[in-house]
Structure 1
Amino acid sequence: MFIFILLFSTSVHAILTAPNGCSLVDKGWYKPNENQWYFTCSAANLTEALEFVSSINKRIDYIIIDACNPVISRLEQLPELDVWNLKITNCGIEEIADDAFVNTSPIGELDLSNNSITKIPKLGFLVDRVQYLNLDHNKISYIPDDAFKKENVTDYMMEYLHLEYNNITELHSSAFEGLSVRSIYLGNNRITHISPNAFEHCKAENLYLHDNKIAELKTGTFSHLKDLRTLDMSNNLLHELPPTIFSSLKKLKSILLLSNNLKKLPSVIFSGLSRLEYISLSENKLTELSDDIFHGLESIEEINLSNNQLKYLSPNIFRNLSVLHYLRMDNNQLKQLSPGIFDDLRKLEVLDLHNNLVKDLPSNIFYNLNELRALDLNNNKLDKVQVDLFPPSFVNLVELHLQGNRLTQLPKRLFSNLRSLWIVDLKGNYLTALPRNCFEGLSMGKTKAELDAEGLRFDFKVFLSGNPLTCDDQMTWLLDWMKIDYVTISPDDGHPEEDTPICVAPPQFAGSSLKSIVLKSLAKIK
C-alpha cells in the first residue's frame, strides 16, 4: 500500500509516494506564506521512510517515526536530511553507529527515547549541532570518556540532555568532558557513585540527579560547575554531606535534598550561597539544625523542612531572612516555638506547622508577620491561645487552620484584627461554644456593600465539626450570623455530611446538626 502526497512549493509541484504508515502534512496554516512540514510514521520501515524524506530535497520541520517495522537493532548512517526535529522512538535500537548523523543538517531536537540503547556513541560532533538530545527510557549503563568530547572547542550551549530512566550506575571522571548544556537530566537511574571529577570540563546550569541510589558525595564533586543554578539530589540515600560540597556554586538558586537519609547538616553547608532562593530538606531524618545554618542567605524565598524529626529550633535560625515567603515545618516533633524565631520574616506569606507537638504559643510570636496569608497549626497540642496572638498589623491573613488541637475555649475578639480572613478551621477540638464577640471587627452584621467599602471579605467560612457543641442560648448569635448569605458554617454544598457540626447538648438538641435547629427554639432555653 502506498500513500500519494501532492507537494507544493514556490518552485516544485510533484506527486510523491510515501511509504506505508507515513504521511507528510503542512501544519504551517497559522503562519501566512510559511510552510511547516510534519513527516510522521507509525509501524513503518525506517530505512524506506528516511530515504523518502531525503529524496524530497526539502527542509522538513518534524520527522516523527514510532514503532519501526521491522525493529532496528543498530542505527547506521542516515541519508542526507534537512530536519529540525528528528524523533525515532520505540524502534528497538540497541546500538548507534558513531557516524549515524554525519549527513544530517544541524538538528534542533533529536529524540531517541524509548529504545534499547545500551551505549552512548561518540556525540562530540553532534553536541555542537543539536539543542535538545533525548535518550530517556533506554538501557544505557555507562557513559564513555569521549561521548561528548568536541572535535573543536566552541561556545555553543545545548538546551538539555535527557538520560533519565536508564541503567547508569556510575559517573566516572570526565564523563561529561566537552559538554556545554543548560540542563542535564540523570534522574531515575541506578547511580551509586559520582567521581569528584565527573563534571570536569563541563558546563551546566541545571543538574537533576533525583531518584538514584547515591549514598555519598565526595568533596569537590560539583566544584567544576561554576554556573549551576539548580541541583536536584532528591530521593537518594545520602546520610551526610561534606561541609564544602556546595561552596563553589555561587550562582546556585535552588537545591533539592528531600527524601534522603540526612540526620544532620554541617553549619556551613549553605555558606556563601547568597543567590539561593529555594531549599528543600523535607523527608529526611534531621533532628536538629545549627542556629546559623541559613545565615547569609539574603535571597532565600522558600525553605521546606517538613517531614523530619526536628524537636527544637534556635530563635536565631531564621535571622535576617528578610525576603522569605514560604516556610514549611510540618510533620516534625516541635514541642515549642522559641520567642522571636519569626521576628525577621517580614515578607513571609505561608507558615506551615501542622502535625507537630506544640502545646503553647509565646506572646508576640507572630507580631512581625505582616504579609502572612496562610497559617497552618492543625494537629498540634494547643489547649489555649492568647487573646493578643494576632496583632493589629495582621491584616492579610486569609486562612487560619487550628484543626485537631485541644482547644476548649477561644478568647473574646481573638479574630478581630484579621480583616482579610476567609477560612477558620476549628474542627476536631473540644469547643463547647464560641464567644459572642470572637469575630468582632470582621464582617458580623454588615452588608456586602459595607464590607466592600471597608475592604473586607464577604465569603467567610468557619469549620466547626468534631466539637462537642452545647447549643443553648449562648450560641444564638452564631445561628443568627449563619443567616447572612456570605457566612458559611461548615459544611457548605461541597463538604460531606460527616463534616456537619453536631450539638451534644442540651438533651433536646443532642445529635442535631447546628443548621437544623430553629433559632426561636434556642431562644426559649433557659
Structure 2
Amino acid sequence: MASVTYQLLSVTVVLGAVQLISGYSFKNCIEDPYSNQQSFNCIRRKEKNMPAIIKDLPPSAVNLTISINPIWHIPNRSFVRLPNLQDLRIDQNHLRRIDEFAFQDLHQLKSLNLSCNNISELNPSVFKDLRSLTFLSLTNNTLKRLPEGIFSPLLNLTTLIMRQNFLSNFSAIAESVSHLRNLSVLDLCFNNLTSLSHSNFSLPKSLTTLYICRNNLLKLGCKDSFLGFIHLLDLSYNSRLQSMAFQGLDLKHINYLRLRSTSVKVVELLNISNVNAGHVDFSGTGLNNDTLLMELCRLLSIKVKRITNLGLGGNGIENLTNDTLHYCPNITGTLDLSRNDLKSTGCLEFLNKQEYIKSINVEHNHLTSLQSCKTQNTVLLNNLEELSYRYNRILSVGACAFNYAPNVTTLKLNINTIAYLDINALKGLTRLETLRLDNNLLTDLFSFTFNDNHNLKILNLRNNRISVIFNGTFRSLSNLTTLDLGGNKITYFQPSGLEGLKSLSKFYLDGNNLKQIDSSLYRVFQDTLTVLDLQSNQIRFLNDEISSPFINLSRLSDLKLDGQRPFGLTVLPSTFLRGLHSLKSLYLTNNNIYHLAPDAFDDLTGLHFITLDNCCVGVTNLQPGIFKNLRNLTKLIVENMGIQNFSKEVFGNLTKLHTLQLNRNVMQSIPVDALQSLPNLHYLDIRNTPLSCTCENNILQNWTVKNPHVQVVYLYNLPCPNDAKLKFYNFDTKVCYIDLGEYLFLSTAGVIFLFTVTPLLYVKLYWKMKYGYYVFRSWFSEQWRILSEKDENCKYDAFISYNSSDEQWVMEQLMPNLEGNGSSFKLCLHHRDFELGRDIVDNIVSAVYSSRKTICVVSRNFLRSEWCSLEIQLASYRLFDEHRDVLLLVFLEEISQRQVSSYHRMRKVMLKKTYLQWPGSDCTNPTQAQELFWNQLRRAVRSGSRLETEEETGNFETHTSDENGYLLP
C-alpha cells in the first residue's frame, strides 16, 4: 500500500520523465531488435485479416514476413501504408485470393514470396505496381494457368519460381516471360508440363537457368534456337523424355545439363546434339555396368580431352574395375559416385589414369570397410584434395587406408559405423586439414592415431563412444584450431590427454559425462581458446568453495554450461567464473541453480550476451548488484527464471543493454525507474508474465504505449491475470490519477484537530460524555423499544430518584404518604426493587420505563450526583422526545435559579412545568402545608402521562448518588 501511495503522489513528476523513454509495440508483429524499425516478423498469429495484421507497422518497414497465419485474402491497398517495403514474404498461410490492387504503391518492392499457399488464380493486374521487383516465388500453390500479361509490369524481374503448381501450358508461360529482359532464373519443376512447345514467343536472352524437373515431358517440341541462351538446364525426373527430343536443338551454351531419371540415352544424346559432353551430368542415367561406362568414356575422350566434373551418381553401379574409367578423359575436378550400390572401392585402382582428379565423392553407397593400401602397386592421386565416404556402412578402416591420396586436405568419414580405426589408418596424410569422424562407433583413440597429421586444423569426433582421452592422443596436433568431442561418453582426461593443442581455438565437449572441470587440462591452450562448450555434462558443485577452472583462459569469448545432467548446475560458486574478462557470450540455460551469488559475474566485464533461461529453481530473488559489472551487456535472456521482483538495484547498471527477454516470469509489477535506468533498451519481451492491472502498474502501462523507443513484444495481447478478457495496455487507470493532495491535507488536518481537541473535551466534558455514553446505550437497547410502547399498564406507579443523603426523608415521609394512608401507590426503590446482578444502567432504564412517573427528589446533593443526573436525563427524554408527562420534580430545599442553570435538562423541565417545594418546619403552618403537598403529589401521580392532559406539578426523588452509589452485586 505504501508503494502505491508513493506512486500516486509522484505521478505528475514521473509522467514528465516518461516522455524521455517509453515503449511501443505491434499487435501481431515483432520488429527485428537490430533493424531500426525496418524488419518485422508476423508469424503464427491468429488474425485472419491482412490489414489488421500490419495496420500498426511504421512506414519505415523494409522487410516484412507474414508466415504461418490463417490469412486467406489480401484485399486492395493492403500495403499502401508501407511504401518502403523491399522484401515481402507471405508464405505458408492459407492464401486463396489476392485482389487486383493488393500490392498498390509498392514501387520499391524487390522480393515477393507467395509460396506454400492455396492460390489457384491470379488477377492479370495484381503485380502492376511492382516495377522494381527482382524476385518472385509462387512455389507450392494450385495455379493451373497464368493470365495473359501477368508479368508485364515486372521488367526488372531476375528470378521467377513457380515450382509445385499445376501448370500445363508452356506456351502461355513462355509468352508471359518473353518480354522480361532481365530474367535469368525460371523454375518450373513439379508441374504438369508435357512439352516445351510454344507459338511465336521465345524465352528472353537473359534467361540462363531453367528448371523443368519432375514434370511429364514427352518431348521438347521447341524451336532449334529456343534454348540457345540457357546455361543450366535441369530436365531430371521426366521419366518419359527420350534422347531424340534433343535432336536439332542448339545446346552449345549449356554449361550444366541434368538428366537424372529420364529415358535419355546419354551416348545417343552426345551423338545427335551439339551439347558439350563435359557439361552433362550423367547421374541417374542408367550407366550401371562397365560396358556402358567404357562406351561413355570412349565417346567423351573423342569429344573432349579433359573434363572438369564427371557425375555418375545414382546409376546403380555395383563394381568398378581397373578398366571402367580407363578410357575417360582426364578429370580435373570432381568424380561423383554417390548413391550407387558400391560395396568396395579398393584402393581406387580404377582411377589409375586420373592423376589430376581433385575430389571424389563416394557417399550413400554400401561400403563396409576401407582396406589397407600399403602395397607398392597403389595408385597415387597426388592432386586429390577432398575425399568423402559419408553415409556408408563402414565398420573398420585399415592401416594406411589412404596411401593413394598423400595430399588430401579434407577427409570425410562421418555418418558410418566405424568401430575400429587402425592406429596407422591416417598415416601419411601430412597435409590433412579437415577430418570428419563424427557419428560413428569409435570407443578409443590411440596415442599415435594422428601422428602424421601435423597440419590438421579441424577434427570432428562428435557422437562416438569415446570414454577416455589417453595421454598423448593429440600430441602432434599443434595446428589444430577446432576439436569437437561432443556427444561422447568422456568421463575424464588423463594428465597429458590434451597436450600438444597449442593452437586450439574452439573446443566442444558437450554431451559427455564430465563431472568436474580440471583447470590444469586447459593450460596448454590458455592463450588461444575462444570457444568452450561444456553443456549437457554432469558437472555439479556441492559448495561454494572452489577455485575458478577458467582463471587462465584469458581469450575465452564463448562459454556454454547449459543443461547439466541429471539435476543441473545446482550451485554456481561465486568464484567459478573468475578470470573470464574477455568472455562475450555465456549460456547457463536449463540448470537448477537455487542461488546466484551477487558477485558471481563480477569478472565478466566484456560480456555482451548471457542467457539464463530456465536456469533456476522456483522463485528467484536476484541479489542487488549481481549484474553490476556487466556494463557492456547488450542482450540478456532471463526467461522462466521465476523472477519475482524487477528492480533498479538488480538491472540498473546495464547501460548498454539492447534486448531484454523477461517472459515467463512471476513478477506482478515492473517499476518504470528500473526500465529508465536502461537508456539503450530497444527490445523488451514480457509475454506470459502476470503483470497486475492495478494502480501499481499504471505508470508502466503509460510507459509501454507511448513514443517509439522500446519495443514491448505483443503488448496489445498481454492479458490481465484476473480477467483474460481485459488487456494490460488499456485497463482503467483513471482512479490512479486523482489528485490526493487536498484529501490528504484535509484528513491530516482533521487528525491533528482531533488529537488537539480530544484532551480538552475529556477534561471539560468528561461527565457529559459519560452520560452520553449511557444514554446512547439506553437509546438503542431493546428494553427501551419495548417499554416505550407501554403506557398505562406499567409495573410501578412511580420510580423514586433520590440521593442517599435524602434517604431518611424518603423512608419516613415519602413512602408512608404514597404507599400508606390509603393511597396504595406502588413505588420503585433501588434498594428494594432493582434486580441483583444486572448492570446499573439497565436497572435504571428498566425502572424509568416500567413506571408511570419518575419522581426526582431534588436537593443540592442530588444535583452533585452522577447517577441522579443520569436518571433525570432518562426521564426527561420521555418527557420531551416521546411527549409523555412522566417527570415530577420535588425540591426538598431552596435552590436558586443560578444553581439550577448548570443542569440544562432540569432547567428546561422547570421552565416547561411547575414543580413541588417541600414545606420545611420554618413555614407558618407546616402541618397544613405538608398535607397540601401530599395531596398535590398524589394527584400528580394519578394523572395520565399524555401532555395534552392538564398539567400537574410533579415531584421527584433521587436514586442514591455516586458517593453512595448503587451497590453492585
User: TM-score, normalised to structure 1's length?
Assistant: 0.77
**Aligned partner of 1:144 among 398, 401, 409:** 398
The residue number in structure 2 matching 1:395 is 655
Q: 2: CA distance between counterparts of 1:500 and 1:260?
A: 41
The answer to whether the 8 Å contact 1:22/1:41 transfers is: no
Q: 1: CA distance between counterparts of 2:584 and 2:344?
A: 49
Aligned counterparts, 1:379-418, within 5 A: 379-392=640-653, 394-411=654-671, 413-418=673-678
The residue number in structure 1 matching 2:585 is 326
Aligned counterparts, 1:292-303, within 5 A: 292-303=548-559
Q: CA deviation at 1:186?
A: 0.9
The residue number in structure 1 matching 2:386 is 132
Q: 2: CA distance between counterparts of 1:515 and 1:301?
A: 40
**Aligned partner of 2:343 among 85, 94, 101:** 94
The residue number in structure 1 matching 2:369 is 119
The answer to whether the 8 Å contact 1:503/1:511 transfers is: no
Aligned counterparts, 1:26-105, within 5 A: 37-46=279-288, 47=293, 48-69=295-316, 71-77=317-323, 78-79=325-326, 80-83=328-331, 84-98=333-347, 99-105=349-355
The residue number in structure 2 matching 1:307 is 563
Partner AA of 1:470 in structure 2: C
Q: Structure 1's 2 and 295: CA in aligned 2 closer, same or farther, altered over 3 A?
A: same
Q: CA deviation at 1:468?
A: 5.6
The residue number in structure 2 matching 1:14 is none
The residue number in structure 2 matching 1:500 is 718
The answer to whether the 8 Å contact 2:320/2:350 transfers is: no
Higher helix share: 2
Partner AA of 1:19 in structure 2: V
Partner AA of 2:343 in structure 1: E
Q: 2: CA distance between counterparts of 1:229 and 1:400?
A: 33
The answer to whether the 8 Å contact 1:64/1:88 transfers is: yes
Q: CA deviation at 1:200?
A: 2.0
Q: 2: CA distance between counterparts of 1:111 and 1:130?
A: 11
Q: Structure 1's 379 and 326: CA in aligned 2 closer, same or farther, altered over 3 A?
A: same
Q: CA deviation at 1:51?
A: 3.6
The answer to whether the 8 Å contact 1:318/1:342 transfers is: yes
The answer to whether the 8 Å contact 1:20/1:44 transfers is: no
Q: 1: CA distance between counterparts of 2:252 and 2:690?
A: 75
Partner AA of 1:337 in structure 2: L
Higher strand share: 1
SS of the equivalent of 1:271 reads: helix
Q: CA deviation at 1:345?
A: 1.9
Partner AA of 1:142 in structure 2: S
The residue number in structure 1 matching 2:538 is 285
The answer to whether the 8 Å contact 1:172/1:197 transfers is: no
SS of the equivalent of 1:389 reads: helix
The answer to whether the 8 Å contact 2:426/2:452 transfers is: yes
SS of the equivalent of 2:299 reads: helix
**Aligned partner of 2:606 among 338, 347, 356:** 347
The answer to whether the 8 Å contact 1:74/1:96 transfers is: yes
The answer to whether the 8 Å contact 1:173/1:200 transfers is: no
Q: CA deviation at 1:43?
A: 3.2
Partner AA of 2:403 in structure 1: K
CA shift digits 1:154-205 (9 cap, x unpaired): 7x4x331111122210223122110131101111112222222222222311
CA shift digits 1:102-133 (9 cap, x unpaired): 10132121111111122325397546321111
Q: 1: CA distance between counterparts of 2:715 and 2:669?
A: 24
The residue number in structure 1 matching 2:428 is 178
Q: CA deviation at 1:331?
A: 1.3
The residue number in structure 2 matching 1:196 is 447
Q: 2: CA distance between counterparts of 1:25 and 1:239?
A: 63
The answer to whether the 8 Å contact 1:241/1:266 transfers is: no
Correspondence 1:211 to 2:458: no
Q: 2: CA distance between counterparts of 1:357 and 1:283?
A: 16
Q: Structure 1's 118 and 20: CA in aligned 2 closer, same or farther, altered over 3 A?
A: farther
Partner AA of 2:338 in structure 1: T
Q: 1: CA distance between counterparts of 2:410 and 2:488?
A: 22
The residue number in structure 1 matching 2:728 is 514
The residue number in structure 2 matching 1:437 is none
The answer to whether the 8 Å contact 1:208/1:233 transfers is: yes
Partner AA of 1:319 in structure 2: R
Partner AA of 2:616 in structure 1: L
The residue number in structure 2 matching 1:484 is 706
Correspondence 1:469 to 2:692: yes
Q: 2: CA distance between counterparts of 1:330 and 1:336?
A: 14
Q: 2: CA distance between counterparts of 1:22 and 1:139?
A: 36
Query: How many residues are matched?
Result: 459
Q: 1: CA distance between counterparts of 2:274 and 2:393?
A: 33
Partner AA of 1:513 in structure 2: K
The residue number in structure 2 matching 1:30 is none
Q: CA deviation at 1:515?
A: 4.3
RMSD: 3.4
Q: CA deviation at 1:301?
A: 1.0
Partner AA of 1:43 in structure 2: T
SS of the equivalent of 2:386 reads: strand
Correspondence 1:264 to 2:516: yes
The answer to whether the 8 Å contact 1:112/1:134 transfers is: yes
CA shift digits 1:342-396 (9 cap, x unpaired): 223222111112222363333322222121011122222443354322345x321
The residue number in structure 1 matching 2:891 is none
Q: 1: CA distance between counterparts of 2:731 and 2:486?
A: 53
Q: 2: CA distance between counterparts of 1:466 and 1:45?
A: 63
**Aligned partner of 2:475 among 213, 223, 227:** 223
SS of the equivalent of 2:300 reads: helix
Q: 1: CA distance between counterparts of 2:275 and 2:498?
A: 49
The residue number in structure 2 matching 1:429 is none
The answer to whether the 8 Å contact 1:383/1:406 transfers is: yes
The answer to whether the 8 Å contact 2:398/2:421 transfers is: no
Q: 1: CA distance between counterparts of 2:250 and 2:401?
A: 42
The answer to whether the 8 Å contact 1:22/1:42 transfers is: no
The residue number in structure 1 matching 2:627 is 366
Q: 1: CA distance between counterparts of 2:501 and 2:363?
A: 31
Q: CA deviation at 1:263?
A: 1.9
Q: 1: CA distance between counterparts of 2:275 and 2:738?
A: 79
Partner AA of 1:314 in structure 2: P
The answer to whether the 8 Å contact 2:322/2:350 transfers is: yes
Q: Structure 1's 195 and 409: CA in aligned 2 closer, same or farther, altered over 3 A?
A: same
Which ranges of structure 1 fall in alignment gaps of 5 or more residues? 10-16, 28-34, 427-462, 494-498
The answer to whether the 8 Å contact 2:311/2:335 transfers is: yes
SS of the equivalent of 2:308 reads: strand
Q: CA deviation at 1:73?
A: 3.0
Q: Structure 1's 175 and 386: CA in aligned 2 closer, same or farther, altered over 3 A?
A: same
CA shift digits 1:456-493 (9 cap, x unpaired): xxxxxxx4x44162345x55444544553636655258
SS of the equivalent of 1:470 reads: coil
Partner AA of 2:370 in structure 1: I
The residue number in structure 2 matching 1:434 is none
Partner AA of 2:679 in structure 1: R
The residue number in structure 1 matching 2:798 is none
Which structure's relative contact order is higher, taking Cα pairs within 8 Å and 6+ residues apart? Answer: 2
Q: 1: CA distance between counterparts of 2:626 and 2:379?
A: 60
Q: CA deviation at 1:521?
A: 8.4
Q: CA deviation at 1:336?
A: 2.2
Partner AA of 2:389 in structure 1: L
Deviates more, 1:483-492 or 1:353-362: 483-492
Q: CA deviation at 1:406?
A: 4.1
Q: Structure 1's 174 and 341: CA in aligned 2 closer, same or farther, altered over 3 A?
A: same
